[in-house]
Amino acid sequence: MARRGKGLERLLRPLAGRSRELGAGSGKSGALEAIWQVVCAIPRGRASTYGAVARAARVPRPPPLTRVARRETPPGMNQPWHRVVGAGGRIVFPSGTREHREQARRLRAEGIAVTSGRIAPSALTELDQP
């Protein structure tokens, strides 16, 4: 557990002194809150990438910090993380895993076609930067 914390600290180090840009809190909480707000703004039936989410939230180290935000989402905070995919529209979970099947199921339920673990580029949406 301590190792995970040190990795998170390393990812968040560039955020020092940027609380205004990152929203309500500073450091970890401000960055995570900014990412969560962007994820909530992804419309139903559309998807975005981890990198695009981080860019829209204006946080450094795009994919790693966005993945941290996914892991750190408090229970009960209904974030539509199934709408966030890897570069090129790829589901990042290994094929055949429960997580991969669940994300594909949720995307399909919203009308997004999933073929061989990828969504069509037309399903990806551009995210506004605040």
What pLDDT is recorded for position 17?
43
What pLDDT is recorded for position 3?
36
Q: Taking the alpha carbons of 92, 102, 50, 36 in that order, is the dihedral positive or negative? A: negative
Instruction: Name the architecture of domain 25-123.
Output: Orthogonal Bundle (1.10)
Strand ranges in the chain using DSSP code E only, listed in sequence order = 48-49, 84-85, 114-115, 118-119
What pLDDT is recorded for position 84?
96
User: Domains of the chain: which residue ranges?
Assistant: 25-123
Residues belonging to the chain: 130
> Is residue 103 within 8 Å of 50, Cβ to Cβ?
no
Q: Which among 87, 80, 75 is positioned nearest to 110, based on CA atoms? A: 80
| Burial status of residue 107 (CB atoms within 10 A of its CB: 0-12, 13-18, 19 or more) | buried
Alpha-carbon distance 115 to 52, whole Å? 21
Low-confidence residues in the chain, pLDDT < 50: 1-26
What pLDDT is recorded for position 47?
97
- pLDDT tens profile 115-128: 999 999 999 998 87
What pLDDT is recorded for position 75?
84
SS3 114: strand
